[in-house]
Amino acid sequence: MTTAALCLAGVSVGYSGTPVVTGVDLELRPGQRLALVGPNGAGKSTLIKAVLGLADVLDGTATVLNTQPARARAHTGYVAQTGNLDPDFPVSVRQVVMMGRYRQLGWWRPARAADRRAVAEALDRVGLADRAGLRFGLLSGGQRQRVLLARAIAARPRLLLLDEPFNGVDAVSQEAIVRVLRELSADGTALVLSTHDLTVARDLADLVCLVNGRQWAVGAPAETLTAEPLRQTYGSAAIDLADGRMVVVEP
């Protein structure tokens, strides 16, 4: 039996029999952070959804926490790209985070002390304990993203997947999210995050997987976030590595 949190062996993923990403081979251990990096439409979200059992594994073997993706759902967490909650929906921050406990609770049962404690701890962790009673829609975009992270971690997942967690997020919230992600991995949670930001990937990830229709490279940031693998992944785009920042520049 493998101790990997995630093991993808020769995996192709897609929808209705049509592959979106092929040839994915990687292994992620508990406590490791994996960044999925590639251009728009590269298939990063599809790969995340396949790990959650929400997109099809068309070829190869995907093992999530020693089982099939759909069976691992009780132990995986997900922070979707822009949040699937309508900001106008009249719920409090605390209620949003409590949704993360429904899997343990069943939505029809009243919250127990353990659920309330998990919600309070999760909000504290993202630095928003003092906003628990506020309406979710009144928060800034970055704060809403932190609440959605709190909702995911309130369920105490062993593998947490985040789709572009820093999109539209201000610097203060980005810093808060990065801190929480580092703490979670120090506690043994395995993390997968998709990002366009090469600097974030380099600074945060133990392992980078470059994808665009197929896996182009996988390995440590120092091996993968280099000119040639990035050129292959992004096609004809040029790479500027100046000033400590890494960017993909359109030709």
**Contact footprint for ligand ATP (CB under 6 A):** 15, 20, 38, 40-46
Token readout for 181 is: 């992600």
Task: CB nearer to ligand ATP: give 21 or 96.
Answer: 21
* CB 198 within 8 Å of CB 225: yes
- Environment class of residue 209 by beta-carbon count within 10 Å: exposed (0-12), middle (13-18) or buried (19+)? buried
In 3D space, the residue among 69, 38, 16, 27 whose CA is nearest the CA of residue 214 turns out to be 38
Token readout for 50 is: 């396949």
Task: CB nearer to ligand ATP: give 37 or 123.
Answer: 37
**Distance, CA of 131 to CA of 174 (rounded, Å):** 18
Instruction: Report the nearest approach of ligand ATP to the CB of residue 214 (Å).
Output: 12
Task: CB nearer to ligand ATP: give 139 or 169.
Answer: 169
Task: CB nearer to ligand ATP: give 3 or 40.
Answer: 40
Give the chain's length.
Answer: 251
Helix/strand/coil for 140 = coil
**Distance, CA of 145 to CA of 200 (rounded, Å):** 17
Largest CA distance in the chain: 57
Instruction: Report the nearest approach of ligand ATP to the CB of residue 34 (Å).
Output: 15
Instruction: Report the nearest approach of ligand ATP to the CB of residue 187 (Å).
Output: 27
> What percent of the residues of the chain are helix, what percent strand, and what percent coil, each to the nearest 5?
40, 30, 35
Instruction: Report the nearest approach of ligand ATP to the CB of residue 102 (Å).
Output: 24
Instruction: Report the nearest approach of ligand ATP to the CB of residue 233 (Å).
Output: 11
